[in-house]
Amino acid sequence: MLQLVLFNVTNGLIIGAFYVLMALGVAMILNLSNVINFAHGNFLALGGYFAFVLTPYIGFWGALVVAPPLVAVIGYLIERVMIRRVYSRDPVYSLLLTFGLAFILQDACRYIWGTTGLPLTVPASLSQGISSELFFITGYRLFMMAIVAIAVIGLFAFLRYTRMGVRIRAGTLDLDTVAALGINVRLLRSFNFAVGIYLAGLAGVLAGGQIGLNPNMGDDLLMPAFIAVIVGGVGSLTGTLLGGLLIGVASALTTVFFPSAQEAVIYVIMAVVVLIRPRGLMGEEGMLT
Amino acid sequence: MNMLEVRNATKTFGSLVAVNGVSLSVAAGELRAIIGPNGAGKTTFFNLITGFFPPTSGAILVEGQDITRLSAQERVKLGMARTFQITEIFPELTVHENVRIAVEVGSGFALRPWIGRDAAATVRRATEETLGLCGLESKAGRSVGELSHGDQRAAEIAMALALKPRLLLLDEPTAGMGEQETYQIAGLIRRLHKQSNYTIVLIEHDMRVVFNLADRITVLDQGALLADGTPQQISENPAVQAAYLGTAE
Amino acid sequence: MSTTTIETVLKAPTERRWLPAAIVWVVLLSAPLWLPLVGGYTALASHVLVMGLVAMALNFLLGFTGVMSFGHAAYFGLGVYGAGLTLRYISNSTLLALLFGILLGGLVGTVLGALIARRRGVYFAMVTIAFGQIFYYIAYSWNSFTGGYDGLRGFSRQPLHFGPLVIDIQNNGTLFYYFVLAVFAICIGLMAFLLASPFGRTLIAVRENQRRARFLGIAVDRHIWLSFSISCYFAAAAGALYALLNNFADPMSLHYSLSGEIVIMAVMGGMRSFWGPLVGAAVFVILQDYISSMTENWMSCIGLLFVLVVMFFPRGLLGVLQRRGSP
Amino acid sequence: MAYRILPAIGRRTLIKGGAALGALQVASPYIISARGEVPIKLGFIDPITGVLSALAASEVEGAKLAVANINASGGVLGRQLELLVEDSANDVGTGVQKARKLIDRDKVDGIFADVNSAIAYAIAGVTSEKGVFHIVPGGHTDPITGKDCKWNVFRICNTTTMDSAAISATLVKKFGKRWFFITPDYAYGQTLQEGFVKQLTAMGGTYEGDKLPINTVDFSATLIKAKAYKPDVLLNNMGGLAQINCMKQFTQFGMQKDMALGGALFELESITSVPPEAQTGWWTMEWWWNQPGVPHVAEFVAGIKKATNKPASARHWFGYVGVHSFKLAAEAAKSLEGIKMARALEGLVLPPEVALQPGKVFFRTGDHQLMPSIFTGEAHPPKGDPANVFTIAEAIAGETAGGTVAENGCKMTYPA
């Protein structure tokens, strides 16, 4: 039993890594642009499908490099053409807009690539378990963990050490002041949006190799991503990181004892956190109002 | 007993000390002006008095009662009403509706799903009186968002008055106004003070208005109290002249 | 100007205020007569009323308190299950089912509202979505009680008994439509009554300017909580009617995607107008009904509708009309 | 979603132009009456979107082929058939609404629904309330023709009891008596697992299992649990995409080395969607395209191939048989009245060009369940033909596997 629990903790971290990748993108867009991106899961699917299309030409590795930026470009364009126009309006409009986009993107994927699941072939070197004891840690899963870790470290480094990153963080705290300093806030938001979408696209390629592709593949990750943000504390990316890992592990552990509650449990965690620490684990005071 | 008493109020934001140990007493029926250069902490001080946020240390008393920890709503119930530097009104509603809401809330009807005929008549009368006092009768039916800046200020003051406050706090009532509008608002404040006997505390930039209206003047500089006295005393105070009047616009 | 002038100024807009209401009621009351002529059917009309009610309930919060809930399907769905479970396990009284449905959704909304009401703006929306999903998963997972994914079957609305008078809303679709209309009318009447009261005006004050409202002495959090709770009771009423309409309850009635649809109904119709959400619901339900029969790509059409409304008709259908109508 | 198949147009044009014509028709519903004949409307509700969509698509294609064939040979009772396809979106509530719409607005004479057992089950509630003739082509859960059987509901595909009974003995004999179930937590999965457990415990076996949401994507946690249990056989009862994902992760974990795979259904659509190493295990197959020497089968397979460029699957056959059963019932009853059709279909034996398999295939009178042969066999990577991924080992008469009407709990009552 202990072994089983231990297995599941590890497995939960892997699931959690996906939640984290999704949630960080959601959180970045939310923090700077005040937009809840309902279409985030669909950008994820788009990333997977782009990789599927590219793999025959440039291989899995090439697709892993090329597909996420392509998705980011699509995200950037959508932000430029549509989402940007509703920043100044009541937040209800941005919500509805991304909600509608989610429908359209999902349907587009279905129209182009069909309802049937498609496989995204990963290199054979990655698809074996690392040992018979640790069979559930396949090379691919280790690889995913590594990529997620690199992406997260890269993101935090970007936000801390680059000029654009520092501006994004400053804008998250006080957009008006950033604007008053003469920084191009529109550009900042577009870029930030694209970075968030890039993370979704990356998650899509990784998920595609794990579970294959289908038009709804991002849906199941969207709510956990929201909850990771709420649990971690709105405004804190570190909190989001912790929140994602926490609910991933909790969900996997629940599967051991009460499998049909594996989804419900993350909501229970959220309710408890909101009750005990209304700002989330790492939330800051000003962020909730 | 003083209408308002502030004892040693301090407010810090992180390492920034916005208000530093300021004390103040305002007698009933007095009109007090608070002046000081930009960044002197005037609005922060106002926010401490009205409960926008609690002070880091110090105490605030209204008619001898300690209100330091009370919420803004509770302070309103004790008779405190304020306006803001940037007009805060209900822009999509008419002037009449703006004031009526204030009257109803002031009469304790905020949770009433219905009111009787008599109460409704009282509300209407009070609303019309307040509109009349502020010279807004003719604009009652217009949406307040469409009014001129001066009329919007007047409407905001009317809403504050509709609460029947014993202490009225006005944050730069003439900010951003032209000659004519400033004159109009100053006249309104004078009427409220002289005819209706309100206790008024106001922050003001326009020195003509300040020296014309105020019974006493408090000068803040860099978050601290610089001087406190009659207009005469203040205008003769060398420290004030050095720190403020000399550099005034 | 004298006070009489104020009176006349104020009265001018109120004078025509009965007109939209009159049009709505005439259309609704006569629906079973003209509906078949234009290719509709009574169940569709009942469906429009139900969605209209939940959209108006949401708009009580969204349009008249200025607070955006993206989780209202939860309280609608609790109404659905409340009514369904009552008929299935407790009693075969339609009215009792309606009552329990309203209470279940409303009470849960009241309790959760206390947790949620302190949030603002987009965070409020996010927390409402996430809390709403809890009930989706409860209904989805609790097989033995709610029927789980399969939904709750095995109940049926029952005829109404008033002493010797029996109204057979069970088998007569038209009579059931009028039953829905009656409940709808009571709910809408209550909402209009509340909105016209001093309490209702404080909600509008909160919508217009929370800072001003707070410094008028309005306890903003408490008023948002009250508005949220009230809105949940009405949403649950709509849900209970929905259960009676379909004789069926399923977890999707609790899902956030339905919340999104409810919001778009309110916005499409016009969230500043009392009747707007009903118009929005009618357009949405009928469009969805037809489009989903016409094309496999109905999701794109609905998505496009969302985008078009947001980009080009943010004030909604009635909002556009109102603006045209006023000088 | 309505590809309204109009009479007297070539099949291929039909499938391509269906959607556009459907749109036209909504605008002018009486376009057909100009021909002097109102077609018989059939409503077909299936999860065109969602995890079961591949299966649903096949059912619709089979039904379309049947409609086209029937219309080409004179229709039913001299009238043409018109198929209205609606998407249930794999959502029970949506399915129920679509059923109400088809009945109330379109006034269909028959309803066909649904791949998803839960939706089929719920729609049966609506059709029996309204007294509309209802055929369930591909929803397997027992109560539809068991304890909740209805006079107006007939089912083409097997019950979960039939499918599980057919393969249980084989699995025990070949692999052993320690089983682990991965089962979708809804009507289908619940009754299927019940059926298996009944068989297994009767043979003295032991089991463990997880019931997971129907849309589950990540099975790793459950697979770890399965591995720890060290079963002889893993029964993958998931459906559609979920089953495929489960298989992929199973092979990624290398678990095929530790335990055998098997279960009730691993359909052609699913077998061809998993990697070769997952194309394995012993399964029940409800209909198979490769039946050399059985009359009319090749014809049907060619028809499906021509219309869809896909190999014919059991789902195609369900849709095809469903529509033909409607025709047979109407013609035997000489009426479209639900009760008369239901009476006429009871005990009716399918002609060979519809049955498409050896042996007697008939609707059992007591519970309205079709009694075909049940095939069991082994899945394997393609041999020659890419669709040759399954080899039949045995054909079992449905009636021997399924239990009697009394055992299944159906008490058929007709309205007075």
CA distance C253 to C242: 9
Residue B245: its pLDDT value, please? 54
Residue C273 backbone phi and psi in degrees, to 5: -110, 145
* Contact between D210 and A259 using a beta-carbon 8 Å cutoff: yes
Residue A286: its pLDDT value, please? 43
CA distance A203 to D328: 53
Confidence of residue D3 (pLDDT cuts 50, 70, 90): very low
Is residue B126 scored above 50 in pLDDT?
Answer: yes
Q: Residue B100 is part of which domain span?
A: 87-164
Query: Which residue is listed with tokens 């807004």?
Result: B136
For all residues of chain B together, what is the average pLDDT? 86
CA distance C50 to C57: 11
Residue C310: its pLDDT value, please? 87
Q: What is the pLDDT averaged over residues B204-219?
A: 87
pLDDT tens sequence across A141-156: 888 888 999 999 999 9
**Claim to verify: residue B195 and residue B238 sit in the same structural domain:** yes
Residue C323: its pLDDT value, please? 54
**Claim to verify: residue D110 and residue D243 sit in the same structural domain:** no
H/E stretch holding D384 reads none
Residue D5 inside a domain? The answer is no
**Claim to verify: residue D108 and residue D135 sit in the same structural domain:** yes
pLDDT tens sequence across D148-175: 889 999 999 988 888 888 888 888 888 8
**Claim to verify: residue D192 and residue D250 sit in the same structural domain:** yes
**Claim to verify: residue B203 and residue B216 sit in the same structural domain:** yes
C264: nearest CB among A96, A229, A264: A96
Total domains in the fold of chain D: 2
Residue D30: its pLDDT value, please? 40
D50 contact A CB<8A: yes
* Contact between C9 and B141 using a beta-carbon 8 Å cutoff: yes
Q: Residue D258 is part of which domain span?
A: 161-285+374-402
Q: Tell me if residue B81 falls in helix, strand or coil.
A: strand
Specify whether the CB–CB gap between A263 and A271 falls below 8 A: no
**Claim to verify: residue B125 and residue B247 sit in the same structural domain:** no
**Claim to verify: residue B125 and residue B188 sit in the same structural domain:** no
| Mode of pairing for the β-strands spanning D233-236 and D178-184 | parallel
pLDDT tens sequence across D246-278: 888 888 788 888 888 888 888 888 888 777 878
A222 contact C CB<8A: no
Using CB atoms and an 8 Å cut-off, which of residues 2-31 of chain A contact chain C? 30
Residue D228 inside a domain? The answer is yes
pLDDT tens sequence across D282-291: 898 988 888 8
* Contact residues on chain C for B111, CB-CB shorter than 8 A: 199, 202, 226
- The CATH number given to whatever domain includes residue A36 is 1.10.3470
C111 contact A CB<8A: no
Which of these three, B104, B136, B164, is where a domain ends? Answer: B164
**Claim to verify: residue B1 and residue B17 sit in the same structural domain:** yes
pLDDT tens sequence across D304-331: 999 888 899 999 999 999 999 999 999 9
Give every strand in the sheet of D178-184, ordered side by side: D206-212, D178-184, D233-236, D260-265, D282-285, D373-379, D390-397
Q: What is the pLDDT averaged over residues B95-122?
A: 87
The C-alpha of A127 sits at a distance from chain C's nearest C-alpha, in angstroms, of 33
B28 contact C CB<8A: no
* Contact between A259 and D273 using a beta-carbon 8 Å cutoff: no
Beta bridge partners of D210: D182
Is residue A75 scored above 90 in pLDDT?
Answer: yes
- The CATH number given to whatever domain includes residue B28 is 3.40.50.300
Q: What percent of chain B has pLDDT over 70?
A: 98
Nearest chain D residue to C251 by CA distance is: D93
* Contact between D228 and A128 using a beta-carbon 8 Å cutoff: no
Confidence of residue D67 (pLDDT cuts 50, 70, 90): very high
Longest dimension (CA), chain B: 60
D68 contact C CB<8A: no
Model pTM above 0.90: no
Q: What percent of chain D has pLDDT over 70?
A: 91
* Contact residues on chain D for C293, CB-CB shorter than 8 A: 1-2, 22, 26, 84, 86, 101
Residue D384 backbone phi and psi in degrees, to 5: 75, -100
A220 contact C CB<8A: no
CA distance C58 to C72: 7
**Claim to verify: residue D392 and residue D245 sit in the same structural domain:** yes
B113: nearest CB among C9, C194, C216: C194
**Claim to verify: residue B100 and residue B158 sit in the same structural domain:** yes
* Contact between C201 and B94 using a beta-carbon 8 Å cutoff: no
**Claim to verify: residue B159 and residue B175 sit in the same structural domain:** no
C130: nearest CB among A226, A261, A275: A226
Total domains in the fold of chain B: 2
pLDDT tens sequence across D340-372: 899 999 989 989 888 898 888 889 888 899 988
For chains A and B, tell me whether 3 or more CB atom pairs sit within 8 A of each other: no
**Claim to verify: residue D100 and residue D15 sit in the same structural domain:** yes
Is residue A228 scored above 80 in pLDDT?
Answer: yes
Which of these three, B115, B133, B164, is where a domain ends? Answer: B164
Digit-by-digit pLDDT tens for chain C (327 residues) are: 333 333 333 334 445 667 888 888 888 888 888 887 777 788 888 889 999 999 999 999 998 998 888 889 999 999 999 999 999 898 888 899 999 999 999 999 999 998 888 877 777 888 888 888 889 888 888 878 888 777 888 788 888 888 888 888 887 888 889 999 999 999 999 999 998 888 989 999 998 888 888 888 888 889 999 999 999 999 999 999 999 988 888 888 898 889 989 998 998 888 888 888 999 999 988 888 888 777 777 788 888 888 888 888 888 887 766 654 443
Query: Which residue is listed with tokens 């979106």?
Result: D89
Beta-carbon contacts of residue C129 (< 8 Å; ≥ 6 apart): A36, A223, A226, C70, C71, C256, C259
The C-alpha of C110 sits at a distance from chain B's nearest C-alpha, in angstroms, of 16
Residue A129: its pLDDT value, please? 65
Using CB atoms and an 8 Å cut-off, which of residues 286-315 of chain C contact chain A? 297, 299-300, 302-307, 309-311, 314
Residue D59 inside a domain? The answer is yes
**Claim to verify: residue B65 and residue B135 sit in the same structural domain:** no
Angle between helices A185-211 and A2-33 (to 10 degrees): 150
**Which of C250-266 are b and which e, b meaning 16 or more Cβ less than 10 Å from the residue's Cβ?**
bbbbbbbebbbbbbbbb
Residue D173: its pLDDT value, please? 87
Q: Residue A221 is part of which domain span?
A: 2-288
The C-alpha of C245 sits at a distance from chain D's nearest C-alpha, in angstroms, of 10
Nearest chain C residue to A94 by CA distance is: C310
Confidence of residue D44 (pLDDT cuts 50, 70, 90): very high
Which chains contact B through at least 3 pairs of Cβ atoms less than 8 Å apart? C
Beta-carbon contacts of residue D94 (< 8 Å; ≥ 6 apart): C252, D87, D88
Residue C51: its pLDDT value, please? 94
pLDDT tens sequence across D108-128: 999 998 888 889 988 998 898
Residue D4 inside a domain? The answer is no
Specify whether the CB–CB gap between B5 and B61 falls below 8 A: yes
Specify whether the CB–CB gap between A278 and A288 falls below 8 A: yes
First to last CA, chain C: 23
**Claim to verify: residue D53 and residue D90 sit in the same structural domain:** yes
* Contact between D228 and A15 using a beta-carbon 8 Å cutoff: no
Separation in Å, CA D387 to CA C186, D180, D216 = 61, 29, 27
Residue D410 inside a domain? The answer is no
CB atoms within 10 A of CB C137: 23
Specify whether the CB–CB gap between C207 and C198 falls below 8 A: no
**Claim to verify: residue D330 and residue D383 sit in the same structural domain:** no
**Claim to verify: residue B67 and residue B20 sit in the same structural domain:** yes
CA distance A242 to D278: 36
H/E stretch holding D133 reads strand D133-136
Which of these three, B125, B145, B164, is where a domain ends? Answer: B164
D257 contact C CB<8A: no
**Claim to verify: residue B174 and residue B159 sit in the same structural domain:** no
Beta-carbon contacts of residue D407 (< 8 Å; ≥ 6 apart): none
**Claim to verify: residue B170 and residue B247 sit in the same structural domain:** yes
CA distance D52 to D57: 9
Is residue B244 scored above 80 in pLDDT?
Answer: no
Residue B246: its pLDDT value, please? 54
| DSSP codes, B182-232 | HHHHHHHHHHHHHTT--EEEEE-S-HHHHHHH-SEEEEEETTEEEEEE-HH
Total domains in the fold of chain A: 1
Which of these three, D331, D356, D371, is where a domain ends? Answer: D371
- The CATH number given to whatever domain includes residue D66 is 3.40.50.2300
C149 contact A CB<8A: no
Confidence of residue D212 (pLDDT cuts 50, 70, 90): confident
**Claim to verify: residue D237 and residue D345 sit in the same structural domain:** no
* Contact between B104 and C198 using a beta-carbon 8 Å cutoff: yes
Nearest chain C residue to A268 by CA distance is: C134
- Residue D263's region, left for phi above 0, alpha for psi from -120 to 50, else beta, is left
**Claim to verify: residue D144 and residue D79 sit in the same structural domain:** yes
CA distance A5 to D211: 19
